[in-house]
Amino acid sequence: MSEGRLHLRAISERGSFITLEGGEGAGKSTQIGHLLVNLREAGIEAIGTREPGGSPGAEILRKVLLSGSVARLGPAAEAILFSAARIDHIDKTIKPALAAGTFVVSDRFADSTRAYQGARGQLDPRFLRALERITLDDVRPDLTLILDLPVAEGLARAAARRRAGEAPDRFEREDLPFHESLRAAFLSIAAAEPRRCIVIDAAGAEEEVAQAIFEAVSNRLIVPAVVKQVRHG
Ligand code: T5A
């Protein structure tokens, strides 16, 4: 361990909660791998998790949600089921890790419900806001990184990643206007909540994007914590 290595667990009782959001194939899973390595190298305990899923109960719901069989129940039922999975994820994985002082990095979270289930404009925004309030309770991300890239590029990446014979999932099968509306929705969330969200240009090379992400995390979460530590001894 280098001399400058910091143990943020000693600084704060609670860990920080980071979410990565964006459209299909934006590179979230790839970048979470890099971010976890970078955080751990900086001496910060961190776990990676994902939605839908991230806890045994929520992983069961993930299979159902991505199969597309819930879609026929309509967007409200789909939003409720994503939220049910989220409640289990929060209770079983996110809250205990944060309470232990661990950083939690989640591949998607509540902004995905806002963007995906809100994409066609079929749901009353008040319904989505109420559902989010009930689901999250007091668990809100400290930082959300929105990975942005042209829709065609993201879909091409997602298609290239699929194994031979593997079918696109329920959301990858949606049309281009749907995916364009997702991109716009994520950018509008970022514009509305600049203290929480940072837009990352995800079109660059993997390592460049990883660097931009770690800089953002350092500037928003790590440097302020270090300054606080120095001030308070
Ligand atoms: N959903 C989810 C909702 O509708 N509502 C909700 O509330 C929630 C939580 C989840 C689906 O559920 C929906 C959204 C999703 O459609 P998923 O299988 O978990 O489905 O898929 P996604 O989250 O969409 O993630 P993907 O697996 O599609 O993409 P990622 O994780 O963003 O991208 P990644 O890292 O797998 O990269 C894709 C490919 O691109 C390459 C990678 O090597 C990989 O092959 N790549 C790059 N190539 C070039 N340059 C780079 N910089 C690259 N970075 C990665």
pLDDT in the model for residue 15: 94
Residue ranges of domains in the chain, CATH in brackets:
2-232 (3.40.50.300)
| Spatial distance between the Cα atoms of 148 and 26, rounded to a whole number of angstroms | 7
pLDDT tens per residue, range 78-105: 999 999 999 999 999 999 999 999 999 9
Q: What type of residue sits at position 18?
A: I
| Spatial distance between the Cα atoms of 42 and 7, rounded to a whole number of angstroms | 8
| Spatial distance between the Cα atoms of 124 and 79, rounded to a whole number of angstroms | 12
Output the CA 160–ligand 1 centroid distance in Å. Answer: 12
Percent share of the chain, pLDDT over 90: 81
State if residue 113 touches ligand 1 by the CB under 6 angstroms criterion. yes
State if residue 51 touches ligand 1 by the CB under 6 angstroms criterion. yes
| Segment among 10-19, 53-62, 90-99, 179-188 with least mean pLDDT | 10-19
State if residue 171 touches ligand 1 by the CB under 6 angstroms criterion. yes
pLDDT in the model for residue 228: 72
Minimal CA–CA distance to 56: which of 27, 36, 85, 28?
A: 85
State if residue 135 touches ligand 1 by the CB under 6 angstroms criterion. no
Output the CA 26–ligand 1 centroid distance in Å. Answer: 6
Ligand 1 nearest-atom number relative to CA 209: 52
Q: HSE on the CB side for 90, CA within 13 Å? A: 17
| pTM for the predicted model, two decimal places | 0.94
| Spatial distance between the Cα atoms of 146 and 59, rounded to a whole number of angstroms | 23
Average pLDDT estimate for 15-23 = 97
Ligand 1 nearest-atom number relative to CA 31: 35
pLDDT in the model for residue 152: 96
Q: Which of 64, 93, 108 to mutate to test the pocket of ligand 1 (most atoms within 8 A of CB)?
A: 108
**Residue-wise burial string across 107-118, b where 16 or more C-beta atoms lie within 10 A, e elsewhere:** bbbbbbbbbbbb
| Average model confidence (pLDDT) across the chain | 92
For 39, the token pair is: 């955080």
Residue 4 has pLDDT above 50, yes or no: no
pLDDT in the model for residue 223: 76
pLDDT tens per residue, range 139-176: 999 999 999 999 999 999 999 998 888 888 889 999 99
The SS3 of residue 220 is helix
* pLDDT bracket for residue 34 (50, 70, 90): very high
Residue 10 has pLDDT above 50, yes or no: no
Q: What are phi and psi of 105, to 5 degrees?
A: -115, 115
State if residue 95 touches ligand 1 by the CB under 6 angstroms criterion. no
Minimal CA–CA distance to 149: which of 194, 204, 111?
A: 204
| Spatial distance between the Cα atoms of 182 and 154, rounded to a whole number of angstroms | 12
Inter-residue contact 73 to 82 (CB < 8 Å): no
pLDDT in the model for residue 1: 40
Minimal CA–CA distance to 49: which of 113, 104, 96?
A: 104
pLDDT in the model for residue 163: 84
Q: Which of 87, 112, 120 to mutate to test the pocket of ligand 1 (most atoms within 8 A of CB)?
A: 112
State if residue 26 touches ligand 1 by the CB under 6 angstroms criterion. yes
State if residue 206 touches ligand 1 by the CB under 6 angstroms criterion. yes
pLDDT in the model for residue 12: 59
